[in-house]
Structure 1
Amino acid sequence: MVLSPLAPAQRAALGRRQVLITGDVVAEGVLDTADLDARAAAEQEVRYVTRRRCEVHRVRGVPLYEVLAEIPPRLDQRHKMGQLNVVVLALSEDGFQVVLSLAEIDPEFGACAALLATRYNGAVLDRPTLVMPCDGRASRYVRGLCRLCVVTVAPSAG
């Protein structure tokens, strides 16, 4: 049997404490929550409103932009600012998903301090939670994060 060079390589199943980074990246990567927690220096108090009340939580983690800088996206070279055409799809283990633009978390553009939290109110998490501290609601928080898929949006033809 001959495999097409475009066929994706088989990968081992993710462990319960791992996050896959895939898509239009230089090379796929797997983050281990314990490794991420070991370098989690950013601690923040986040406030948001739910349907029922206002909540305040302490989170600690690593900025998402910092993680994506280590496993960078393949940028569209047809644009002088290719990073403005990149989106990040964050998926949870229960199927919840959220889309962010790379520009909104880039310190030179939107500067939203999106965080891969490994601790929530002092408790160590099995998988990180994507925390969006600039949001007034927690709707874009992704608990049990298992995958980050980076996508470069192609320019329109017309």
Structure 2
Amino acid sequence: MSSFAGIPTQRTPLSEDQVLVTGDINHEWVFRTSHLDAHARDPVNVQYRTTRVREVHQVQGVPLHDVLGRVGLRTSEGSKMDELSFVVVASSTDGYRVLLSWAEVDPEFGACSALLATRYNGRLLTRPTLVTPRDGRASRYVRDVARLEITRFGVGRS
């Protein structure tokens, strides 16, 4: 018997150190924080302010664009600059979500330098933290990222 259209295939639950990359991409991918950490770049200092204080932390990780480049966007043939109609939603284990446009993530456009930090102040994280180093506030930082969903925005909508 075939499955019903529109009912997603069940997945094996993620372990506590895994992240799912899904959406309008060529193939889904699940990676472990430790595997991502093996490709981490040199540490960088990030500064931001909270409502009470200015903070500085050292983070180490992989640019978000490099991670997402591995799955390939499901673009439309013949559409001008089609990748600019995609968004990335990073979701944490506690349900906190942040949306970034593809143009922000892609170094050829906005180059917001978003990265998936695998280490924070030298400590290896269980799941990565989405960090946007150029932001003055940490509101778009997503701790314990469990899912990255890439979606084409506006298709079929009027």
Q: TM-score, normalised by structure 2?
A: 0.94
| Whole-Å separation in 1 of the counterparts to 2:156 and 2:109 | 23
Q: What is aligned with 1:38? A: 38
1:73 corresponds to which letter in structure 2?
L
Tell me the secondary structure at the aligned position of residue 69 of structure 2: helix
| Whole-Å separation in 2 of the counterparts to 1:76 and 1:125 | 37
Aligned-residue identity in percent: 51
Q: CA deviation at 1:3?
A: 1.0
| Whole-Å separation in 2 of the counterparts to 1:97 and 1:75 | 24
Q: What is aligned with 2:106? A: 106
Q: CA deviation at 1:79?
A: 2.4
Q: CA deviation at 1:5?
A: 5.4
| Whole-Å separation in 2 of the counterparts to 1:76 and 1:154 | 13
Tell me the secondary structure at the aligned position of residue 127 of structure 2: strand
1:90 corresponds to which letter in structure 2?
A
2:52 corresponds to which letter in structure 1?
R
Aligned length: 158
Q: What is aligned with 2:147? A: 147
Q: CA deviation at 1:2?
A: 2.9
Which residues of 2 match residues 67-146 of structure 1 at below 5 A?
A: 67-77=67-77, 79-146=79-146
In the TM superposition, structure 1's runs of 4+ consecutive aligned residues that sit over 6 Å from their partners are none
Q: What is aligned with 1:47? A: 47
Structure 1, gaps ≥5 residues long: none
| Whole-Å separation in 1 of the counterparts to 2:7 and 2:43 | 41
| Whole-Å separation in 1 of the counterparts to 2:144 and 2:66 | 19
CA-atom RMSD, angstroms?
1.5
| Whole-Å separation in 1 of the counterparts to 2:18 and 2:7 | 23
Tell me the secondary structure at the aligned position of residue 4 of structure 2: coil
1:53 corresponds to which letter in structure 2?
V
| Whole-Å separation in 1 of the counterparts to 2:156 and 2:95 | 29
